[in-house]
Structure 1
Amino acid sequence: MSNRLSTIDPMRIHSGKQRTQELGDTIRRVARLCTLVVVLPLYAEAAAQSPTPSPQAAATTAFNTAPTPPQDHQHGFGPGLSAATIALFAALAFGLHCINRKRARALKSAEEQRALLEALIDASDDLIFFKDRDSRFRLINRAAAQVIGRPPEDILGHNDDDFFPGEEACAFHAADQRVLSCGSTQRFEERVRHSDGHYERYETLKSPVTLPDGTVLGLLGVGRRLTQERRANDRLRLAAQFFDNAAEGITITRPDGVIEMVNPAFTRITGYSAEEAVGQTPKLLHSDRHSEAFYQRMWDSLAQYGRWQGEIWNRRKSGEIYPEWLDISPVRNEEGQLIHYLGIFTDISAAKTSEAQLEHMAQHDSLTDLPNRNLLNDRIATAIRRASRDKRTVAVMFLDLDHFKDINDSYGHETGDLVLKHVAMRLHECVRDEDTVARLGGDEFVVLMEDIEDAEQADQAAERILASLIPPIGRNEQEFFIGASIGVSLYPRDGDSVEALLRNADTAMYQAKQLGRNNAQRYCATQTETTRQRVKLENALRHAISSETLNVWFQPQVDLQSGELIGFEALCRWTDPDHGTIPPDIFIPLAENNGMIVPLGELVLRKSCAQIRHWREAGFVPPRVAINVSGRQLRRLDFLGVLCTILEQEQCRPEWIEIEVTESDILKDAEPAIATLHGIREMGIALSLDDFGTGFSSLSYLKRLPINTLKIDRSFIDGLPGDANDRAIVQAILAMGRSLGIQVLAEGVENPAQVAALRLMGCSTAQGYHFGRPALAETHLGRLACA
């Protein structure tokens, strides 16, 4: 048995059936020996314990069992009877001697068999033990005793409960009873705790041991350690599963490159079956995109570093070329000899496509698919390098759509996006193929022109762009007319960096907007200075509003017939410590453009109400004060709330003020403005319409406005009394006012001739330098009536 067990290679991989058969053969041999060792001593012990008759008893027995002679012959045969008795005693003694010799030989043979069995099982690395029907150990080898951690003599007669934790002992006992009850050999996989506390797994075969008459003496167990073998099996099984189920293609080749094995993923990726690939070389997949030098570098790297990995293009069986990530490693045997090459590759077509899409998204505008700022900056930088090398000119055109915000606000962003797409298409169609059209965001576009001869060529391109935008863009039976303001900067004249060219083109574009929009302007250095001054002025205005250092001046309004003071107009004036006095026609448009007009208007409204309260607290009775409100303020949803708050905080009654709005502000978004004006009127505040006649007045809107006063713009007063057209317009406005029951006030009256003409035409009120210039509140104290 020892020789049999020693020939089993522990690293060899066996199937479950082979292992069971091998252990079964072993356990049957051991069982026969155990039966012999166990049974023979039992018989010998039974013979030894049977009573041996003494010579006297034997003689008595023999005498008693001999035939009784006739009574009449008793005294005649006495000597003969003694000889027979002696012979019988001798025969019995010889028989007993033979029995004792046989018993001694049987005991010696049993001891030899037991010693042989113990030596045999102790020589085995497997765990071998014999248990009786009560699961007590009756025989155990050295390997099993080492697992328990006790000498064999301390184990015999005990059961598993004395050496193992409760759950393990119960499991061992249940397995023993299962074998004894079914009477057949069974295989178990058990987790056994060693004496030092660590666990190992064993495969154990347990077989019942029976006598020839069927009596069950116990069971014999043989256990073999599974830990190392299980690990080896698991590694091989895992490797096989990985090979068959891996998503990556796997190729195993001989050192000469001939394919020996491929996995299913190889077939799925390349289209070649295992039968078609085995026996071929990887040249089967070559795409012809790589030169021989590429493959030579691959093999040189593999020889030098022991591995090569990288991106490679191969061809499927269908002819489609695809990218893959390939990793090649050599496989060597224990002696270090190269026996195989292992190639693992992944189809990265989807990753390449996603990468290209992400790169495109990162460099292109999502709405128009034009290059975005990042890609534009890169292309401008490249164009500058080329132009510097070739001594050529580069043009950068910054384009901003005129009044595009009105489309978004009036028709929604969906319509605005459609317009932007049409603009992008037209821009792309009217430039050269080598030019770049980019969208920076919103309604801002940039056109990059490389390799131009002079500035005139850039001017011509700008004119083509403006012409391409002339045709209307239609949507849902609605036509949109789009104009653009274009600024042009040139390399190297206007800058030698991406930032400088874009900044200067933007500056020139702003100049185009100031010159009436829908035109193109080339950059010049003075524009930069103008822009810088504008930025400085904006910052100063913000500080002035936040610190409330702007002043409110008042200009009188008079009755033309009596000359009496009937009102004031509150006007904002600004004197900056660094810039000096800033005219209203400079800082008011600036505030309109950057959104500061809202806090500025609230500041003027608050200061005007506070001044009215101061006048009244001082004992004066000032006339009604007209306060200008911008269209941005009117369109704010919280304007009425802000107005009420200011009146309450400054303790100013609604009838003491008049809100003055311009006609053009109302017409930009008429409906919300009209609703707000009605709200103001319901508060008891008078309304006046400024600059009437300059905004293409609509009589349909005029009759809906709850206004008290129409103010004739000064542009119609300047020509009086000599300009017939101005006279006709003024007369028409006065007539309309009388028919609608609206008071009419003339602005900008500066001389007596204008006063006389207005009186003759029936104008009742006016304001202008002729009656008084705007001034601080203290200047007008002499004209105010006392309470």
Structure 2
Amino acid sequence: MADATSRPTDPAGADVNADHAFLASLLQHPSRRALLALDAQGRVIVGNDRARGLVGGQVEADLRRALADGMAQLAEHPDREILHHHEAADCKLDCLLRAVTGPDGGILGYTVSIYSHDEAPDLAESPDRARWRYALENAQDGLWDWDAERDQVYRSGRCFTMLGYSRDAFAGSFDAWQGLIHPDDRPRMKVALHAHLTGERENYIVDYRVRDANGRWRWVLDRGRAITWDSVGKPQRVVGTHTDIHDYKQIEAQLRERELILNQAQHVAHLGNWSWDPENDRLWWSDELYWIVGLSNTQSPPKFRNQRHLFTPESYARLHAASVALLKHATPYALEVVMLRPNGERRIVQARAEAILSDDGRVQSLVGVLHDITEQRAAEENSRWRNDLLDRIAAMGRIGGFELFVDTGELHWTDENYRIHGIEPGTPLRFEDTLPSYTPESAQKLQSAFRRMIQEHVPEHSDELCFVTPDERRIWLRVTGSLEVRDGKPYRITGLTQDITEEHEAGERIEQLAHYDTLTGLPNRFLFRERALESIELAHRTEKPLALLFLDLDRFKYINDTQGHEAGDLLLQEISGRLRQCVRASDLVGRLGGDEFLVLLREIARPEDAAVVARKIIDAVGAPMELASGEAQVGCSIGIAILGENSADLEALLRAADTAMYAAKDAGRNTFQFYNASFYERVQRRVTLEQELRQALARDELHLAFQPTISMKDNAVACIEALLRWTTTAGEARFPAEFIPVAEDCGEILPIGRWVLGEACRQARQWHEAGLVFGRIAVNVSALQLRDPEFANHVIEACEREQWPTDRLVLELTESALMRESEVLRNTFAVFKAHGITLSIDDFGTGFSNLGYLHRFPLRNLKIDRSFISRMDTAPNMLELTHAVVSLGHALGLSVVAEGVETENVLQLLRQQGCDEAQGYLFTRPLAGEDMATWLAAQG
């Protein structure tokens, strides 16, 4: 800090505006204080005589550091006053620093006033000066002044009286007022105060509830501002006001409540309102109007000129014309229009609007309502439809009415009711006179029903009754009566009578159809089940044997496909008749559905009797039959289950017979089999396998093993075959011969096949990148995969995804896969040929190969099945047979691979026959991927 008595070296260079600003700032300080004026860099420009006596030496050095911190703070908050307390052994000073700003808000310099505590206290600036200046601006409010350094709060009398307290009713501390604030509001008040004191907000303002002298909560608006800060930016003095806003808050709550009630009323009535200020183009919608239109109330309502999409074209045209007339001539309108919600829903609304005029007659604003009457119109339309329907029903004259007076028994009928009963209209009637014409059971039901209605005040009752007309026709009537009570006593019963004779007869026919097969006339599964349950219950009581035969026709689908469904229906009818002839009258024959039948043999003497009936049925069904389309012949497979310990109820008996029927099919068809527990276990095993197989991929239970194929010429690894393996999470191994047929039957072979292909290509690429030498990778393909039109694309995509060249991929097919030549198969093989994919026939010799197929399809390899190779040096003629296969393969231009080579002797025999490649345990067993890599590396 320069000498306090120094002057600017170039007065002419001083800014005139700056001088005026400095003078204005100096006038704010008491003239008996020490005063300094600093430039924007903090250098002393001028000081008074008091400054000479107080500032110098070590005091000057200490003040320079403190004022530097203050000026840094004023750079961000130029409107603050920075108060610094300087204490030393020989003096105690208060320094007040202010910024002087120019018209553009930039800092021109600073002023400093210094007060020494050793001098007269009247030289200190009175704290009341700022306090009362602030109070004058808020004369109706309570004033508070918080000295944060001493934690003392001065409060004006209004702070107490507005709450009903006497002046100085509690201590002048910050916590004393805090104790009055509602606990729920204190956190919000502290957050607002903290935000201001830390500089996040320019002012402190918050409203909260305070407990008044009567113990009630009263709303207060608390506002304030820090006016003095220390040199490190900590507030030292905060001044503010308390404003009583309790009445305003009550009015606000009442308005909110009324607005809520109004909104609810509008919602109940489906009534939305709007207003528009044409001059400012301000449009307002109520929440219910947003709902009616189908828009969210979080967005602004569309302008009038942009509302065309909210209405049908015809509705918008009428509404637009009415709105123009309203705006120009203040002509109110009331229209019914159709609105279109954004989701396409149509709503019918009544639109009303009128203008609010200014004093000079100009249209000042428009207000209106939209009343959604969609449901009302629908109800009215429905009511009209119902009335028309009732009129048509009455005109058709199919329902009659009646009234019966309780006290007199007098009975009145409508003309149609007379006609329904076959009695001349107008004939006098009493209730008792009509009863003899009902059947006895119906007369009793009618009397009992009316008696209960009258005695127990049953309001309504309906019943179906049988009436015999004078011409002895039996008709069925549905009679519905309602009780009318007057003065607490039954007065009359009124009701309707409907002729339901046709309906009742149709019900009987439906009952017949519900229990008998319409094609064969045999009991259907429901009636068969009902009677079978009765028979089983009787068998348990009498301990007499009972047998169930489950029949499934063989070759029935062939008849349907070749001779048509009409021929199939005739065949089923003929077979139904033959089945009846094969059993006793006491036995039960039923059709389960399709080409399946059930035969229940009651009270058989021994199980062998069921076999006798089964042979009789097989002979009868197998006999040729003449149909309109020609002769037809089918067979049947029969499963037999005997009621006993293993099949004690109908469900168990059906399962057992069904299982035995499948055993008969496995045994060659057109035969019968008794239920066998071991076969059932095999069926269950297959079901379990299928269920587990569907989760195998997801559970990561599948893995691959690999086995190489060796070239006979140079012993190089010509190919590596990927073999699928399955180990469950429980550690149980499943054999391919067991689970692969199941996978093909249930369709799981498709996703599994895609996984095998991708995994094999990925493993092959890893071996190749590791520098291991081998030819191709081979993957087995199911016939089911070849029928998929997208299979070829899946193969190409897998190679591209795993970055494996297609000309190093071999797909091994079974002979049966080639038996079904199709357009899909030809297209698939064309794709494979175009991409250089090798096709190989696997297990050759175990199927029924067509040499024409072998020649027609783009095959490259032929693999001789291991069953031939393993017996080359032991079985007679096997050596000649394998030689013939090798020669056949070469004649077809195919490379021949031998599977199952396990001895050196067999390998030499194959070499002599000219076999191209060999695979088997002689070289290695199937290995995991890592083990295969080790084996390949050892081959050099």
Q: TM-score, normalised by structure 2?
A: 0.49
- The residue aligned with 1:493 is 645
Aligned match for 2:399, one of 216, 240, 248: 248
Aligned partners of 2:923 and 2:426: how far apart in 1?
Answer: 109
Aligned match for 1:313, one of 442, 445, 466: 466
Aligned partners of 2:566 and 2:921: how far apart in 1?
Answer: 50
- Is 1:682 aligned to 2:834, yes or no? yes
8 Å Cα contact 2:533/2:650 also seen in 1: yes
8 Å Cα contact 1:613/1:650 also seen in 2: yes
- Is 1:386 aligned to 2:535, yes or no? no
Aligned partners of 1:424 and 1:717: how far apart in 2?
Answer: 54
- The residue aligned with 1:439 is 592
8 Å Cα contact 1:430/1:464 also seen in 2: no
CA separation of 1:669/1:438 partners in 2, compared to 1, >3 Å: closer, same or farther? farther
Aligned match for 2:849, one of 684, 694, 697: 697
SS of the counterpart of 2:897? strand
Aligned partners of 1:333 and 1:584: how far apart in 2?
Answer: 85
Aligned partners of 1:473 and 1:749: how far apart in 2?
Answer: 55
- The residue aligned with 1:323 is 476
- The residue aligned with 1:583 is 735
- Is 1:554 aligned to 2:703, yes or no? no
Q: String of CA shifts for 1:221-255, please: whole Å, max 9, x gaps.
A: xxxxxxxxxxxxxxxxxx99999975235689999
- The residue aligned with 2:930 is 778
Aligned partners of 1:665 and 1:240: how far apart in 2?
Answer: 71
Deviation (angstroms), 1:460: 3.8
- Is 1:574 aligned to 2:726, yes or no? yes
Structure 1 counterpart of 2:579, which letter?
C
- Is 1:457 aligned to 2:603, yes or no? no
Aligned partners of 2:517 and 2:544: how far apart in 1?
Answer: 29
Structure 2 counterpart of 1:710, which letter?
L
Aligned match for 1:426, one of 552, 564, 575: 575
CA separation of 1:653/1:668 partners in 2, compared to 1, >3 Å: closer, same or farther? same
Q: String of CA shifts for 1:129-158, please: whole Å, max 9, x gaps.
A: xxxxxxxxxxxxxxxxxxxxxxxxxxxxxx
Aligned partners of 2:615 and 2:754: how far apart in 1?
Answer: 43
Aligned partners of 1:730 and 1:541: how far apart in 2?
Answer: 37
Deviation (angstroms), 1:748: 2.9
CA separation of 1:580/1:638 partners in 2, compared to 1, >3 Å: closer, same or farther? same
Q: String of CA shifts for 1:522-580, please: whole Å, max 9, x gaps.
A: 33444454444444433433333223332211222223455443222211122334362
SS of the counterpart of 2:856? coil
CA separation of 1:662/1:473 partners in 2, compared to 1, >3 Å: closer, same or farther? farther
8 Å Cα contact 1:387/1:393 also seen in 2: yes
Aligned partners of 1:569 and 1:756: how far apart in 2?
Answer: 22
- The residue aligned with 2:793 is 641
Q: TM-score, normalised by structure 1?
A: 0.57
Deviation (angstroms), 1:660: 0.9
Aligned partners of 1:304 and 1:589: how far apart in 2?
Answer: 70
- Is 1:652 aligned to 2:804, yes or no? yes
Deviation (angstroms), 1:490: 2.9
Structure 2 counterpart of 1:779, which letter?
D
SS of the counterpart of 1:499? helix
- Is 1:595 aligned to 2:744, yes or no? no
Aligned partners of 1:435 and 1:702: how far apart in 2?
Answer: 54
SS of the counterpart of 2:843? strand
- The residue aligned with 1:153 is none
Aligned partners of 1:729 and 1:481: how far apart in 2?
Answer: 40
- The residue aligned with 1:767 is 919
Deviation (angstroms), 1:615: 0.4
Task: Show the 5 A alignment for 1:52-451.
Answer: 246-249=397-400, 264-265=415-416, 269=420, 290=439, 292=440, 295=443, 299=447, 306=454, 310-315=463-468, 321-326=474-479, 345-356=497-508, 374-399=526-551, 419=568, 422-423=571-572, 426=575, 429-431=578-580, 432=583, 434-439=587-592, 446-451=598-603
- The residue aligned with 2:758 is 606
Deviation (angstroms), 1:449: 4.2
Aligned partners of 2:936 and 2:393: how far apart in 1?
Answer: 102
8 Å Cα contact 1:557/1:767 also seen in 2: yes
SS of the counterpart of 1:691? strand
Structure 1 counterpart of 2:835, which letter?
M
Aligned match for 2:674, one of 507, 518, 522: 522
Count of residues in Structure 1 that have an aligned counterpart in Structure 2: 540
Deviation (angstroms), 1:364: 6.7
SS of the counterpart of 1:620? coil
- The residue aligned with 1:620 is 772
**Greater helix proportion:** 1
CA separation of 1:648/1:300 partners in 2, compared to 1, >3 Å: closer, same or farther? closer
Q: String of CA shifts for 1:251-302, please: whole Å, max 9, x gaps.
A: 89999x999987554575466655999999658966xxx5x57646655665
Aligned partners of 1:578 and 1:407: how far apart in 2?
Answer: 48
Which is worse superposed, 749-758 or 245-254? 245-254
8 Å Cα contact 2:709/2:917 also seen in 1: yes
Aligned partners of 2:630 and 2:856: how far apart in 1?
Answer: 27
Deviation (angstroms), 1:447: 4.4
8 Å Cα contact 2:588/2:600 also seen in 1: yes
Q: String of CA shifts for 1:151-171, please: whole Å, max 9, x gaps.
A: xxxxxxxxxxxxxxxxxxxxx
Aligned partners of 1:680 and 1:704: how far apart in 2?
Answer: 14
Which is worse superposed, 358-367 or 345-354? 358-367
Aligned partners of 2:630 and 2:839: how far apart in 1?
Answer: 35
8 Å Cα contact 1:427/1:465 also seen in 2: no
Deviation (angstroms), 1:371: 5.9
Q: String of CA shifts for 1:633-675, please: whole Å, max 9, x gaps.
A: 1112221222222112211111111011111133256443343
Deviation (angstroms), 1:687: 0.3
Aligned match for 2:885, one of 710, 713, 733: 733
Q: String of CA shifts for 1:589-610, please: whole Å, max 9, x gaps.
A: 2222222212222222121111
CA separation of 1:476/1:529 partners in 2, compared to 1, >3 Å: closer, same or farther? same
8 Å Cα contact 1:324/1:347 also seen in 2: yes
Aligned partners of 1:645 and 1:556: how far apart in 2?
Answer: 25
8 Å Cα contact 1:622/1:784 also seen in 2: no
8 Å Cα contact 1:687/1:709 also seen in 2: yes
8 Å Cα contact 1:423/1:469 also seen in 2: no
SS of the counterpart of 1:558? strand
Aligned partners of 1:726 and 1:407: how far apart in 2?
Answer: 43
Structure 1 counterpart of 2:925, which letter?
R
Aligned partners of 1:479 and 1:711: how far apart in 2?
Answer: 45
Aligned partners of 2:875 and 2:743: how far apart in 1?
Answer: 35
SS of the counterpart of 2:924? coil
Question: Gaps (5+ residues) in structure 2?
Answer: 1-389, 456-460
Which is worse superposed, 572-581 or 304-313? 304-313
Which is worse superposed, 442-451 or 620-629? 442-451
Q: String of CA shifts for 1:722-753, please: whole Å, max 9, x gaps.
A: 65564565444333323321222233334445
Aligned partners of 1:479 and 1:694: how far apart in 2?
Answer: 36
Task: Show the 5 A alignment for 1:38-53.
Answer: none
8 Å Cα contact 2:404/2:410 also seen in 1: yes
Identical positions, percent: 33
Aligned partners of 2:422 and 2:690: how far apart in 1?
Answer: 69
Deviation (angstroms), 1:384: 2.4
Question: Gaps (5+ residues) in structure 1?
Answer: 1-238
8 Å Cα contact 1:243/1:263 also seen in 2: no
